[in-house]
Structure 1
């Protein structure tokens, strides 16, 4: 997810990796607008003295943050009497700063721990956070003991928590018992945060009922329930009583009664037989892809948060939101392959295998084009004849609500796209609470409807649009009349990181978790890929290497841009007696907004996991 910036010396400048090697640096107090999941009670770190506290800096637009929420669930359960997780919500988009939108997101994603609403990024900056997600571990005496950015850190956290329990049990400073979490009152609605919808061959409407972990078939009125497919419990069971985990995209295989479902949190594709109601897993292993093969037998290839699916070119195109790529499933050969993308997050057009995407969340196809919306770059794009093209979208940090010529038009985190009967394109502009219409003939964008609670998909039935109003928990109907919106451009609040023209050292900091070492058995254990927008921001040093430190030469003719950084490190357990060591790949991507100035620091540290050296004080 996108990186932020630092702007003064803070606690993380001296944090280290383990409880036994920590600097005695007090964790800053938690400051924000308010709290969720605490029964309206304010929580302070002083109140939590005696508990191990895990701060999860997140924002609800971020797929990596959603992955971490799921990774932490078993850890929270295992240590529920000593560990208190606090979600610090520091928003990227304007919509995410809306307290009602945050409240909805906390319910939607089943966040079962207290959440601090940090709309001004005060606590984010006090902890010198640079990326979503970032995890900070605080010991029972209130000192920071570990910091990690990105996903895949549960093993390291588990090791350090065990160390802290042992240490503070001996000191008598560990207090067991319940934490401050108070569950909100459950809400009872037929649909709960529905995600996507399609029309079936029987002219009914099939809806992915995401928060109910099920699929619902409705009459054409969009309200009357015919049947519910799924038990409502989170799971991954096939058969006539199936379970899902936050299913989203749906698509029908033409000429059949088979619907393909993007079972997002399970990292699977499932098929539904509309005649029998039976569900079968057709692609994915259930494990999240982190590295390795992307092409091969469908049941052997890991997927990563498939968010939407569409029938295109004789198969199923897959919006692989979790690693910023597009996948393809061939039902005839039962093979999965990479359709487009490199895993770098951003906007880069051109040949499909060189394109950058940013959390593609909606797909729709016509005869020639595969249309898509990239939520993190607020972009409308399409794939045609092996080339990717951007119609609307300016990058990771620019968004808004503005109609008119496509080159100047703005969206805000769209999640759905629909090809209409006149070959124009409807966009579910989710964080603008609007439906927009792009006309390829005139290359213009207009607004069809507003005041829709987080639309995530739309269908055209006759002259009406049936819109999945996700945060309103229902389908809504609209005509195709358009009104012009002349809104303002927004940008991410966080200031850019200052870097100098000329040489700068970019260092990704990673320390293997206690009891592990970098895995060098089959070659280099680390990988670093650096690119930029615009491309000529970096004159020398871009590309791929196996070292986590790189010297770049920055163009003094460019004043602002984005550094795209993807780093990974493989580490394995370091016990000589263990014949089969446990290995873990840690991976993080950053989109660092930068400003080129004359007197900036000549070193840019990015923390991926732990810290065995202190970065220089911020200026």
Structure 2
């Protein structure tokens, strides 16, 4: 191989069980002779879902030489449930073996610090490449080709089928539905996410009126029997006067296609409204709607104070705003930094916003990764973000009572009830919760709902998408009394990284992939942004710069916190004969929980791409 890499033996793969192997337990030695790609993921993480899609073409291209293994290391308590993991593997069409790693034992053996992280192991069992985040397809392709060439020459490469065994595929009318909206005339429109289509039901929520979409993953416009979606989610009904002007009635968040689609109810015809089909990585996310990339739009809601359709852009932790009349889209709120910070819309932090509901003067928001209920409101000079329930990226649970003590677990949906209170689809708690803005109290309306992900009020009754049960339910009988749950506070299992007190060097490790170099033609090719929770954790080192190393000075008396690190690097093909080399942007957003001790190391490495030779 052209690049000299340190020889690091890959640790054994240990966990509770294996999925997609036909019941067979696997060991690292079972992959000897193959190029092994380990994908450390958790099914709540939108960036992990992006990587699943990025890996699909590589898995097809190198089917005889490469085996992908998903190492599922859960963030939330619900994700450690083996039944929930099996459902997620089906929901997201994971077509490779998955190791269930509920205690994060393999995660810790490989010194992983972020979801997602990719590790390449060569046919002799040595780690040759590590990459955190998404957008590494071309780098992986280069590394894999070098591994294949080297080991083919050495005679240590063995081609053939991998150990993947597809599970039996059940059939139901809906498969992991996402959201629901009430239509004029009393019918219900549901996004049938895993069936890549929309289904219109009669008022009973069971009788199918029609299906819009082929049922196969795609992105075609046209009549209901030819239209294609890819895991559609959010649905928003436009006001009649707007619908008449633009020629469609419903806006659909076509999540995995990174598009907004329009549906004309008269004939079910589908058109593309916004997005290019490519995922937004960097640069402008405002402009003509069909020329501006989106990133995993998860929900949509018409909100009159904003004058358009607000888009929960789960993929980059922002809110977008789509104007159906002018055909423009722009950033509405958020900075792309993952976290929880209130204030002016353009300074706020979100973490995978996934549910929206029009509450009149407030737009309610389920912010999934911070297990938070938040809202947007108009203020002098613009809009502001406020938090009703939730404290940050690592705290969750099921606890009722005053909002400042209440806890959710990865909520995905919200709906405004007739009395002005808010119903929250508390997805990973399997519960429907209620927040009363008048009293600031949280209570529980229903439990044992299978991953509720969306809801709508119909004739005063709450209709809920029970996603993991593959159906609509009405779990809250009219007039039911709320109850209080005295649940315990929980925290993400991910172990904190120990660092020393005082001065620490943050080092983001990035080596351009084989055949490429850092692109400095138009200025610095790297960017590093650092912040912290709590904000006073950093005495020095916060802010934006171009060097991937940064001197941090930690405040005295603070023993734990979270470092928010956003790093990116632009690399281009290194071929002097190429007039216009292809360039690619690599980016990762880390939220690193840290524990500060006097004896801790004074260097914190985060691998963006390559290997840390100082490890």
TM-score, shorter chain, exceeding 0.5: yes
CA distance in 2, matches of 1:234, 1:481: 42
Residue from 269, 272, 277 that aligns with 1:286: 277
Residue from 219, 239, 242 that aligns with 2:202: 219
CA positional deviation for 1:156: 1.0
CA distance in 1, matches of 2:393, 2:513: 31
CA positional deviation for 1:238: 0.5
CA distance in 1, matches of 2:200, 2:551: 56
2:532–2:538 contact (8 Å) kept in structure 1:
yes
1:19–1:164 contact (8 Å) kept in structure 2:
no
Q: Does 1:50 align with 2:43?
A: no
Find the counterpart in structure 2 of residue 473 from structure 1: 470
Find the counterpart in structure 2 of residue 253 from structure 1: 238
| Relative contact order, higher structure (CA 8 A, sep 6+) | 1
Q: Does 1:373 align with 2:366?
A: yes
CA positional deviation for 1:168: 1.4
Per-residue CA deviation, residues 553-582 of structure 1 (Å, 9 max, x unaligned), is 111132221111111111110101111211
CA distance in 1, matches of 2:118, 2:47: 12
Per-residue CA deviation, residues 58-95 of structure 1 (Å, 9 max, x unaligned), is 00000000000000000000111111100000000000
CA distance in 2, matches of 1:411, 1:403: 9
2:3–2:514 contact (8 Å) kept in structure 1:
no
Find the counterpart in structure 2 of residue 513 from structure 1: 513
CA distance in 2, matches of 1:590, 1:492: 15
CA distance in 2, matches of 1:173, 1:294: 46
CA distance in 1, matches of 2:613, 2:33: 28
Per-residue CA deviation, residues 122-154 of structure 1 (Å, 9 max, x unaligned), is 110111111110101111111111111100111
2:605–2:612 contact (8 Å) kept in structure 1:
no
CA distance in 2, matches of 1:346, 1:612: 27
CA positional deviation for 1:594: 1.4
Q: Secondary structure of 2:450's partner? A: coil
Deviates more, 1:246-255 or 1:42-51: 42-51
Q: Does 1:339 align with 2:332?
A: yes
CA distance in 2, matches of 1:463, 1:282: 32
**TM-score, with length taken from structure 2:** 0.96
CA distance in 2, matches of 1:560, 1:392: 22
Find the counterpart in structure 2 of residue 537 from structure 1: 537
Moved over 3 A (4+): none
Q: Secondary structure of 1:124's partner? A: helix
Find the counterpart in structure 2 of residue 13 from structure 1: none
CA positional deviation for 1:464: 2.0
Residue from 383, 388, 392 that aligns with 1:391: 388
CA positional deviation for 1:597: 2.1
Q: Let me know the Cα RMSD of the aligned residues.
A: 1.1
Deviates more, 1:556-565 or 1:359-368: 556-565
Find the counterpart in structure 2 of residue 276 from structure 1: 267
Find the counterpart in structure 1 of residue 220 from structure 2: 237
CA distance in 1, matches of 2:597, 2:144: 42
2:6–2:613 contact (8 Å) kept in structure 1:
no
2:400–2:443 contact (8 Å) kept in structure 1:
yes
Per-residue CA deviation, residues 394-432 of structure 1 (Å, 9 max, x unaligned), is 111100000000000000000001111111000000000
Aligned ranges for residues 168-567 of structure 1 at < 5 Å? 168-240=151-223, 241-255=226-240, 256=243, 258-313=249-304, 314-385=307-378, 386-477=383-474, 478-479=476-477, 480-567=480-567
CA positional deviation for 1:20: 4.2
1:556–1:596 contact (8 Å) kept in structure 2:
no
1:68–1:133 contact (8 Å) kept in structure 2:
yes
In structure 2, do the counterparts of structure 1 residues 19 and 274 end up closer, same or farther at CA, with 3 Å as the change threshold? farther
CA positional deviation for 1:498: 2.1
CA distance in 2, matches of 1:481, 1:180: 51
Per-residue CA deviation, residues 465-523 of structure 1 (Å, 9 max, x unaligned), is 11100000000112243221111011011232223332111111111101111111111
2:504–2:551 contact (8 Å) kept in structure 1:
yes
Q: Does 1:569 align with 2:569?
A: yes
**TM-score, with length taken from structure 1:** 0.95
Find the counterpart in structure 1 of residue 63 from structure 2: 80
CA positional deviation for 1:366: 1.6
CA distance in 2, matches of 1:19, 1:268: 40
CA distance in 2, matches of 1:106, 1:555: 42
In structure 2, do the counterparts of structure 1 residues 528 and 20 end up closer, same or farther at CA, with 3 Å as the change threshold? closer
CA distance in 1, matches of 2:533, 2:3: 41
Structure 2: gaps of 5 or more residues: none
Deviates more, 1:170-179 or 1:261-270: 170-179
1:526–1:546 contact (8 Å) kept in structure 2:
yes
Q: Secondary structure of 1:170's partner? A: helix
Q: How many residues align?
A: 598
CA distance in 1, matches of 2:173, 2:257: 23
1:19–1:145 contact (8 Å) kept in structure 2:
no
Find the counterpart in structure 1 of residue 111 from structure 2: 128
CA distance in 2, matches of 1:578, 1:341: 38
Q: Secondary structure of 2:387's partner? A: strand
CA distance in 2, matches of 1:481, 1:246: 35
Find the counterpart in structure 1 of residue 600 from structure 2: 600
Q: Does 1:144 align with 2:127?
A: yes
